[in-house]
Amino acid sequence: MLTSSSTLSDIRAKITARERISSEDALYLWREAPDADMRSLASQVRARFHSPGACTYLVMRIINYTNVCVAQCDYCAFYKLPGQDGGYVLTHEQVFAKLDELLAMGGDLVGFNGGFNPQLSLDYYCDLFRAIRQRYGERLEFYALTIAEFMYLADHANLSYLAAAERLKQAGVRWITGGGSEILTEDFRRRHSKFKYTVADYFAAQRALVESGLRTSATMVIGFDETIEERIEHLERTRAFQDSLISASLISASPVAAGSTDSALSSFLCWTYKPYFTQLGGIEITTSEYLRHLALSRIYLDNILRIRTSVLTQNERALEGLLYGADDFDLPIEDEVTQLAGATISLNFDQLLATARTLGFTPTYRHVASGWNQPA
Ligand code: SF4
């Protein structure tokens, strides 16, 4: 049980002195700190990494290349079991058409996110990614898979995580995101996602990705039935993982001083659970709760450069996250997984960017494809 003997002014003094807050401090902030304090403390930590008023954005689409999945997470409205009506796998031509459309809309980043499809071999993925690299070169960049899919793929191919990462690298893969993490506590996984993986496996796979030279990121999803203690445990595990990479000299001790080109967890993206048409069901959390969580994440994750706010799940109001410590956001074109569970997407990018400006920020397009070895 987390209890803190700190007061708000003790915690504020720690942050001003650039000291870390503890899990107990985080719980205290969550329970006791008014919104205005959450904003100002998060902005203080944000200013260590980014100029006040500066923010960046990406234009991207998620391509859901298959919806066939055997993991059966109870919070998912997207998957079909093998053999079930409605299951699909996209052809290369269908993927290319989506990529062409993305480029035509000014985007240059795509994330692939599908399911644990036992009919797809490692060769399917390598062929797809090699074909994309050959066809598009450096005109776009892609997040090849989430860690969750990568783990399934490696197991299915009977390969170690390192060996599977090497095969993907040879096919032109540079990035595998931290997606599929949801809430990183073993108890949460047992409650909702028992066929997926353990938390220990998740970090073992992510470490193998870093060791193999692939780039990755941290993610989180809130708003299921998790407790605040579980949210804080997720943040603690993420911060500790980044620390472990730093102490093993796998990345620079100072992501900012190093220009972040070698920061392993290059960003942290949190989005919210959409409960519609899922087995778990439930009620969406409010945007206010999401914004407070963003602030807590910015304060807690003092070794991660970017905190990203989720336009995909919070729409225009996600941009208020810039006032709560976030510095980066996506302008998404498509993501079937969240859309099937209730997310709506606005393609009025001008309006979204205007909202960021109204809030006092100058958004700059972050072209991942033009410099894949730059921070993303
Ligand atoms: S969340 Fe992902 S792993 Fe879980 S059932 Fe849905 S597609 Fe499968």
Could you give the CA distance from residue 59 to residue 329 in angstroms, rounded to a whole number?
9
Are the C-beta atoms of residues 169 and 213 closer than 8 Å to each other?
yes
Ligand 1 centre to CA of 375 (Å) is: 28
Q: Name 265's bridge partners.
A: 216
Ligand 1 centre to CA of 336 (Å) is: 12
For ligand 1, residues with CB inside 6 Å are 69, 71-73, 76, 78-79, 115-116, 148, 196
* pLDDT of the chain, 376 residues: tens digit per residue: 666 678 999 999 999 999 999 999 999 999 999 999 999 999 999 999 999 999 999 999 999 999 999 999 999 999 999 999 999 999 999 999 999 999 998 899 999 999 999 999 999 999 999 999 999 999 999 999 999 999 999 999 999 999 999 999 999 999 999 999 999 999 999 999 988 899 999 999 999 999 999 999 999 999 999 999 999 999 999 999 999 998 877 666 555 444 444 568 999 999 999 998 899 999 999 999 999 999 999 999 999 999 999 998 999 999 999 999 999 999 988 666 677 776 676 768 899 999 999 999 999 999 876 644 444 4
- Taking alpha carbons only, the member of 73, 13, 54, 36 closest to residue 337 is 73
Could you give the CA distance from residue 36 to residue 47 in angstroms, rounded to a whole number?
16
Q: ∠ CA(139), CA(217), CA(75), 5° rounding?
A: 105
Q: Which of 153, 156, 194, 196 to mutate to test the pocket of ligand 1 (most atoms within 8 A of CB)?
A: 196
Give the atom of ligand 1 at the shortest distance from the alpha carbon of 76.
Answer: 6
**pTM reported for the whole predicted model:** 0.93
Query: Over 320-354, what HEC string results?
Result: HHHHHCCCEEEEECCCHHHHHCCCCCCCCHHHHHH
Q: Which residue's CA is the closest to the ligand 1 atom numbered 2?
A: 115
Give the atom of ligand 1 at the shortest distance from the alpha carbon of 70.
Answer: 8
Q: Which of 65, 78, 81, 146 to mutate to test the pocket of ligand 1 (most atoms within 8 A of CB)?
A: 78
Q: Which of 69, 278, 279 to mutate to test the pocket of ligand 1 (most atoms within 8 A of CB)?
A: 69
Q: Which residue's CA is the closest to the ligand 1 atom numbered 1?
A: 76
Could you give the CA distance from residue 372 to residue 367 in angstroms, rounded to a whole number?
9
Ligand 1 centre to CA of 148 (Å) is: 9
**Element spanning 270, H or E:** strand 265-272
CB proximity list for 7: less than 8 A, separation 6 or greater? none
- Taking alpha carbons only, the member of 372, 363, 371, 373 closest to residue 58 is 363
Ligand 1 centre to CA of 67 (Å) is: 8
Predicted pLDDT at 129: 97
Give the atom of ligand 1 at the shortest distance from the alpha carbon of 75.
Answer: 1
Q: Which residue's CA is the closest to the ligand 1 atom numbered 4?
A: 73
Predicted pLDDT at 194: 85
